[in-house]
Amino acid sequence: MTKDAPLVSLHPNVKAFIGEKRRMLIDGKWVDAKSGKSFEVLDPATGQVIANVPAAEKPDVDVAVAAAKRAFESGPWSRMTPAERGKIVWKIGELIMEHQEELAQIESLDNGKPVTVARAADVVLAAELFQYMAGWCTKLDGRSLTLSVPYTPGSEYHAFTRREPVGVVAQIIPWNFPLLMAAWKLGPVLASGCTVVLKLAEETPLSGLKLAELIQKAGVPDGVVNVITGFGETCGAPLAAHPDVSKVAFTGSTEVGKLIVKAAANDLKKVTLELGGKSPNIILDDADLEQAIPGAASAIFFNHGQCCCAGSRLFIQDKIYDKVVEGVAEYARKLKVGPGLDPSTQMGPLVSQVQLDRVCGYLESGKEQGATFAAGGKRLGEQGYFVEPTVIVDAHENMKVYQEEIFGPVVAAVRFKELDDELVRKANDTIYGLAAGIYTSNITRAHRLATKLRAGTVWVNCYNIFDAALPFGGYKQSGWGREMGVEVFNNYLETKSVCVGLGQG
């Protein structure tokens, strides 16, 4: 691990941002929690407190939802043309890029990810997401329909559909990509004309609060976007169950996803969920290993393995097994692990003590179940939440490290002989279905296998490629619905059929 390396010097605005008392955005005003309670935000590289944010609870949720309801029903937002909305959403993207360095530093401080990655990936993708969604504002039209019903001979109908915003949306996001998850959630809400209460993750509330400032600056009217900070049970749960919320969009654990469905069941709110994964990444023996080895390594080590789509089960064909395992293990050993604010860091700390304990628990269980480690296998250092990039070899199906989502930099390598139904069965043998990877130079094998994998995204000769145009979401217990692309609007728009009887002409 790198130690005492010179860290990037903090932007003056970042120093001010974390130095001041942070408030949350409700109805266009920056407010404390009604109870006056707040909680500490920690730097995962050191475990030190870097900021304090309000601990919103049910009374704060009630005010935020009431503001969103008012803004939806009667505010200037509801009267804006799609083009006017589009300009504002585009502007958010511009402001994000104007504040790229600040956002990257805040993200790195709060989440632990390398500032270089936050700058080049998280911030840029967040800006692009808003600008992609801005274009949709003017294009969310219905269709005109030709009916066949001949109730009265010669009678005609003029029938069409309208796409209308679903109403007040509740959104709850996790800590692995704090800014980007906020963007994925808020972009389509704004483009569709809904209003929203977004609850940030308690581990990483800072970049979302900064984004809320930019959203306000871009000209989004008061009450349209309310951004609150609080804990899952005391803030997320009352938000997900609120009777004035029409739709809940959640990203996080499969366990909490199931609670969200129960909370929403009472008044049958619409729900979309983006949950966990245990994605197979399959390397066939004809793959270009120059590409496949770093591909397989970054599929698991990117964002320290804290990705719902991490390629955490690595299937490698017999003939190339040793070479790929050694290549990925070498990549793991060479990864520069250190504080996110060190510009030479390639992998930062995990997000929290809880996550460190969880990942270390899996490493222990691997040892107990007889796993062999080709690289890593333990915590790194004593300060901060660092863990070694880890490669487990010859994992078998009854190991917890093979079956369960670890959400850390731990890959389980599995050997297979043939590209056959048994490989497909094993790859699909998980409760999840978020993503999958295939490395091969044979186009026929790639397409045949891609069709058979039960996953919402299949990457071929690449991994972790995200684009605002590319829908993302899960099969099976990885979730309901899709984020991004035009598909995301199914989450936020109702379809109204209008049928006008024209009589006989």
232 binds ligand NAI (CB under 6 A): yes
Per rule CB under 6 A, count of chain residues that contact ligand NAI: 27
What is the C-alpha to C-alpha distance for residues 118 and 58, in angstroms, rounded to an integer? 33
Closest-CA residue to 351 (of 6, 47, 10): 47
- The residues in 425-464 that bind ligand NAI, with binding defined as CB under 6 A, are none
CB of 404 to ligand NAI, least distance (A): 8
Is residue 405 within 8 A of residue 250, CB to CB? The reply is: no
CB of 425 to ligand NAI, least distance (A): 24
Closest-CA residue to 35 (of 62, 14, 66, 10): 62
Q: Which of 25, 53, 172, 191 is the binder for ligand NAI (CB under 6 A)? A: 172
- Is residue 92 within a helix (H) or strand (E), and if so which, with residue range? helix 82-98
299 binds ligand NAI (CB under 6 A): no
CB of 250 to ligand NAI, least distance (A): 7
Q: Which of 71, 129, 190, 259 is the binder for ligand NAI (CB under 6 A)? A: 259
- The residues in 268-297 that bind ligand NAI, with binding defined as CB under 6 A, are 274-276
The backbone region for 416, taken as left when phi is positive above 0, alpha when psi lies in -120 to 50, beta otherwise, is beta
Contact pattern from residue 308 through residue 347 relative to ligand NAI, giving x for each residue in contact according to CB under 6 A and a dash for the rest: x---------------------------------------
> Which is closer to ligand NAI, CB of 109 or CB of 172?
172
Stretch that binds ligand NAI, among 119-127, 245-253, 330-338, 389-397 (CB under 6 A): 245-253
Q: Which of 252, 377, 433, 456 is the binder for ligand NAI (CB under 6 A)? A: 252
What is the C-alpha to C-alpha distance for residues 298 and 463, in angstroms, rounded to an integer? 8
What is the C-alpha to C-alpha distance for residues 233 and 227, in angstroms, rounded to an integer? 17
236 binds ligand NAI (CB under 6 A): yes
193 binds ligand NAI (CB under 6 A): no
Stretch that binds ligand NAI, among 151-159, 174-182, 362-370, 463-471 (CB under 6 A): 174-182
423 binds ligand NAI (CB under 6 A): no
What is the C-alpha to C-alpha distance for residues 145 and 166, in angstroms, rounded to an integer? 22
The CB density around residue 358, as the number of other CB atoms within 10 Å, is: 15
Q: Which residue has the tokens 């609080």?
A: 230
- Burial class from Cβ neighbours inside 10 Å (0-12, 13-18, 19+) for residue 341 reads buried
Q: Give Cβ neighbours of residue 493 (< 8 Å, ≥ 6 apart).
A: 140, 163, 164, 165, 166, 192
- Would residue 308 show up in a list of annotated catalytic residues for this protein? yes
Closest-CA residue to 498 (of 78, 140, 142, 139): 142
> Which is closer to ligand NAI, CB of 259 or CB of 297?
259
> Which is closer to ligand NAI, CB of 131 or CB of 281?
281
What is the C-alpha to C-alpha distance for residues 466 and 451, in angstroms, rounded to an integer? 20
> Which is closer to ligand NAI, CB of 106 or CB of 237?
237
Which residue among the candidates 57, 107, 274, 405 is catalytic per the annotation? 274
Closest-CA residue to 42 (of 50, 34, 31): 50
- Would residue 360 show up in a list of annotated catalytic residues for this protein? no
The site for ligand NAI (CB under 6 A) is made up of: 172-176, 199, 201-202, 231-233, 236-237, 240, 251-253, 256, 259-260, 274-276, 308, 358, 405, 407
Q: Would you name the residues annotated as active-site residues? A: 274, 308
